[in-house]
Structure 1
Amino acid sequence: MKNQIQLITYVDRIGCKNITDLKELLTNELKGLFGGVHILPFFYPIDGEDAGFDPIDHKKVDPRLGDWNDIKDLSSSVDVMADLIVNHMSADSIEFKDFLEKGSESAYDSLFLTYDKVFPEGATETDLLNIYRPRPGFPFTKFKLANGSEKLVWTTFTQKQIDIDVHSEGGKKYLDTILELYQSAGISMIRLDAAGYAIKKTGTSCFMIPETFQFIDKLTKKAHEHGIEVLVEIHSFYKTQIEIAKKVDFVYDFALPVLVLDTLFNHNANNLKNWLRTAPKNVITVLDTHDGIGIVDVASEGGEKGLIPDSVLDNIVNKMHANSEGRSLKATGSAASNLDLYQVNCTYFEALGKDESAYLIARAIQFFVPGIPQVYYVGLFGDDNDMDLLAKTNVGRDINRHYYTKEEILKKTANPMFEQLAELMRFRNTRKAFDGDFKLLETPNEILQIKWSKGSNWVKLEVNLELKKLLITESVGTEEQVYLSV
């Protein structure tokens, strides 16, 4: 994957009708801004219960968007990342319907994870209470088979998302087939969605246990055989992220979004600096995604301190809600059928109180810290919360999943803030220094200075948090030149 900014987007929510339109957008209105694109689920169907993360057919491109040839055509111009949903598939899939019809006689019997496969002797109360789940309740759903018998099936996320037995022959074949399709389509990186929940074992939390790492390692090796890199998506305590990063190609720096808010809200970069001194470097950096702004990634856990003191973190969350004038409260926690209780649902722009200078500074910090930056499509335009979509669906995350028309895109790309952000993005994509050495310069905590150097090329970011001033300088021959001042 090129060390350039990636776009993360749904095909049909960024003013595009299909994958071909997306390619045209990237080569026209968004030219030079992205070296890669993470296409959020484009499988059949894109409009399921969980916006494509509950595929009925993971091996089929939704015909409304195109087909595998269109994905291959797109991959010829930019790096393409796709999700490999390793934990589950839709209850409406042909495979699960066949299982309900035929039970143990189904060709897909081994594909699905049932309660008795993990607990053949039954589970104790302790076993059940030990299962980690960020959503309320137990991860099982009772299904009635055609013969009248009943089965408890693992459903880690929702009752429509049926967990796969990744250790079974059926599960292995299922994932292998998807990897082969991805290779043929020119996909260069996969994101393992919900990989932390893929392995269930009696007497454990069933989340990021040693066997999970073994599974990720084996799947990563298979992906490498297909010429595909692997990004693992895990929201967890920061020390867990550091350990995971040692064993995979890439992880997300999910701590960064809240640390940047902390830095800007409190005019103090101390917590961010401490993280940058210890954070893994093989990361994809984000400020916003199709999910909410994660809190668990910086919080304390089990009596261990987090990256931000809990009292300060509480104030940051309250500040986000205040900056959005309470709109984020309507989408967060149990307020909007939202089961991701460890996230705040809000656009990053509104979390910053629609402060354009603060927003550009936040993006500059993201682009200068180690890692490959991803910019979410709503964040690309620095946009407001979509309260109309939230009211329509009552799904909390939809507050940050706007459906743009082509006309809206054209209007947004003519906006002065977008033009400044685009200039900053082109800078990040074209300067050789970002492939060199990272240095966090020693400064008072109200000042943040980051420098990248490669040979005689260098670039430097300086942020004065008290004055809310951004300065980017770079080497031009033997001279120092100001590139951008905000």
Structure 2
Amino acid sequence: MKYIKQRLIAIYGETDAQKIWTSLKEKLLKAKQTHTKERKQRWDEKDLVLITYSDQFQEEGKPALATFEKVFDRYLADNFEIVHLLPFYPYSSDDGFSVIDYKKVNPIAGNWEDVEQLSKKTRIMFDYVCNHISAQSDWFKEYIKGSPEYADFFTEMDPDTDLSAVTRPRSTPVLTKFKMEDGSERYIWTTFSEDQIDLNFKNPNVLLKMIDVLLFYIEHGAEYIRLDAVGFMWKEIGSTCIHLEKTHQIIKLFRDIVEEVAKGTVIITETNVPHKDNISYFGNGSDEAHMVYQFPLPPLVLYTINRGDGSALTNWARNLQPAGDETTFFNFLASHDGIGLNPIRGIIPEEEILALVSDLKEEGAKVNYKKNPDNTQSPYEVNVTYLDALNKRADDDDIRMKRFLSAHSILLSLQGVPAIYIQSILGSRNDYDGVAKTGMNRSINRQKYGLDEIETELTKPGTLRSKIYRELTNIIQTRKAEALFHPDVPMEVLDKGERIFALKRGYDSQNSLTIIHNIANEQVDFQFSGEFVNIITGEEMTFVDTITLDPYQFLWLKSIN
């Protein structure tokens, strides 16, 4: 406990830390006494994460979580050990990320009993939307009323303040004007939208309230906790207001708390930023996030297959430093958000990023832009399903599936814990009707389904959905059965030419896997020899001098001793 108090002092100083310490200590002791559920310690090759909405599948008159459970039991449980339920709380915008009440379940999804029922079958990742809260929340409504308890819960600012140094993830203004109940006007910090009000963590009582939410989630079964938009939590005028030291201290405090109360709970930071900033959230390797999102991976794999050139991916992956004994990467290709571009700035020349964006727009993708300090705009996110991002509209389904599976082979073979978005394993295409309905570009990759509809498509022979589901399931099952895919097993990236992305997992030549991808739309030959078994097909393969790979073919080759 003393380390937690020391962390509070580092954030607020002795006097302000003491104001909340007694209350916090009581909360932690109670949480520790009441928490009895055993939790898996760390991770292994069997750990794959499914990213999904709680209302992804629906039946009339039934809570969506109960319907999700049916689909999970029938089609997904064997593939995924962990389910990331995107925010399932009442919300006012942004498909859940403008939370009205942190401690309630959206009635469409069900109730806490439905969450608990699912947690009996899989480990669950909760979204902890810790940077901001809905303008429709009771907290903000009380602030508007002038309630003393909530007077400093949000960051007020003179609109003439120079905020030009502030990093902007959106093109909207930093400050939003609100009218108080007494008729006065206040300008409040809103990093993401006028409906998402940033919490003021300079007020220790805000931190105390949010720790209460964190403990509530642990009590209700959260084994993974995703810190949404966490890089923006602390504000200092004159700075970028992102990745500040006090933000890191708060995350370290969260880790101290979960390890005190429920060891085995995993803290994962969501910071869609360049790699060097992203990995700073590992701290010293044992005091901050257990996992960080591998944000360069989605745009980099897309760029690689789009160009048929693996050089950039090879160079990037070769220079990845191992995460450490107590940390690992959270690898993914697609998510509920778009494909972020900022993480590859500095890896890929800007003109090539813009060319990629142009090509994707021409093929039907949507693009969101951010505002730069000089008032220009740059694309920060491409909105598209990953299946459609990899392909042109005129492509046939055979080549479409080959590119898609090759991309996922890369995802599943890299060092770290892989996560697959629900739309990917369902083989989903762009949902333009969803965009037209909501007016949001991100809706292109957030389609929801009736139970009968999705079951028909998954089980009907020959459909693109059913073929992708079956093939991707086969690769996942192969990965889960192979101990050399444990996140801690070393990875060596091989240089086999610009048309190949290849890597080796293992400890020595006698106990290793060589994973080879042809990322081009042409046959490729290269020097290679040895005796192997392709663990995906079970076929024994001997190569004397060369190996020939068809377009987008990949092999998982285990050495035969």
TM superposition score normalised by structure 2: 0.76
**What is aligned with 1:342?**
380
How many Å separate the matches in 2 of 1:166 and 1:68? 28
Q: Which moved more, 1:153-162 or 1:190-199?
A: 153-162
- The letter for the 2-side match of 1:368 is S
Q: Which moved more, 1:434-443 or 1:197-206?
A: 434-443
For structure 1, the 5+ residue unaligned runs are 117-121, 300-305, 471-477
CA shift for structure 1 position 318:
2.3
TM superposition score normalised by structure 1: 0.87
State which of 469, 491, 502 in structure 2 corresponds to 1:449.
502
Q: Which moved more, 1:411-420 or 1:53-62?
A: 411-420
**What is aligned with 2:360?**
320
Tell me, yes or no, if structure 1 residue 426 matches structure 2 residue 505.
no
SS of residue in 2 equivalent to 1:65: coil
Contact 2:279–2:292 (CA under 8 A) maintained in structure 1 = no
CA shift for structure 1 position 340:
9.5
Cα shift readout 1:398-439 (whole Å, capped 9, x = no counterpart): 011101111232134231222111111111222111112322
Relative to structure 1, is the Cα distance of residues 482 and 258 closer, same or farther in structure 2, using a 3 angstrom cutoff?
A: same
Tell me, yes or no, if structure 1 residue 171 matches structure 2 residue 206.
yes
How many Å separate the matches in 1 of 2:95 and 2:407? 28
- The letter for the 2-side match of 1:144 is K
Q: How does 1:33-432 map to 2 (within 5 A)?
A: 33-45=79-91, 48-101=92-145, 103=146, 105-115=147-157, 124-125=161-162, 128-227=163-262, 228-246=265-283, 247-280=288-321, 281=323, 282-299=328-345, 306-322=346-362, 325=363, 327-329=364-366, 332-333=368-369, 341-353=379-391, 355-414=400-459, 415-432=466-483
CA shift for structure 1 position 210:
2.2
CA shift for structure 1 position 10:
0.4
Q: Which moved more, 1:381-390 or 1:432-441?
A: 432-441
CA shift for structure 1 position 137:
4.2
Cα shift readout 1:163-190 (whole Å, capped 9, x = no counterpart): 1112323311221111111111221111
Q: Which moved more, 1:443-452 or 1:421-430?
A: 443-452
Contact 1:220–1:230 (CA under 8 A) maintained in structure 2 = yes
Contact 1:84–1:190 (CA under 8 A) maintained in structure 2 = yes
CA shift for structure 1 position 99:
1.7
State which of 18, 22, 25 in structure 1 corresponds to 2:68.
22
Contact 1:134–1:340 (CA under 8 A) maintained in structure 2 = no
Identity over the aligned pairs, expressed in percent?
30
Structure 1 stretches of 4+ with a deviation exceeding 6 A read none
- The letter for the 2-side match of 1:175 is M
SS of residue in 1 equivalent to 2:455: helix
**What is aligned with 2:54?**
11
How many Å separate the matches in 1 of 2:476 and 2:295? 20
Q: CA RMSD in A?
A: 2.5
SS of residue in 2 equivalent to 1:407: helix
Contact 1:76–1:186 (CA under 8 A) maintained in structure 2 = no
Relative to structure 1, is the Cα distance of residues 94 and 421 closer, same or farther in structure 2, using a 3 angstrom cutoff?
A: same
- The letter for the 2-side match of 1:140 is L
Relative to structure 1, is the Cα distance of residues 259 and 144 closer, same or farther in structure 2, using a 3 angstrom cutoff?
A: same
Contact 2:56–2:449 (CA under 8 A) maintained in structure 1 = yes
Contact 2:318–2:492 (CA under 8 A) maintained in structure 1 = no
Contact 2:384–2:445 (CA under 8 A) maintained in structure 1 = yes
- The letter for the 1-side match of 2:352 is V
Cα shift readout 1:257-304 (whole Å, capped 9, x = no counterpart): 1111222122221111111122354211111111111111101xxxxx
CA shift for structure 1 position 62:
1.5
How many Å separate the matches in 2 of 1:408 and 1:460? 39
From the CA coordinates, give the structure whose radius of gyration is larger: 2
Contact 2:172–2:193 (CA under 8 A) maintained in structure 1 = no
Relative to structure 1, is the Cα distance of residues 106 and 381 closer, same or farther in structure 2, using a 3 angstrom cutoff?
A: same
How many Å separate the matches in 2 of 1:293 and 1:153? 29
- The letter for the 1-side match of 2:114 is D
How many Å separate the matches in 2 of 1:112 and 1:224? 29
For structure 2, the 5+ residue unaligned runs are 1-41, 371-376, 393-399, 460-465, 525-530, 538-552, 555-561
**What is aligned with 1:302?**
none
How many Å separate the matches in 2 of 1:203 and 1:379? 42
**What is aligned with 1:119?**
none
How many Å separate the matches in 1 of 2:511 and 2:356? 37
SS of residue in 2 equivalent to 1:100: helix
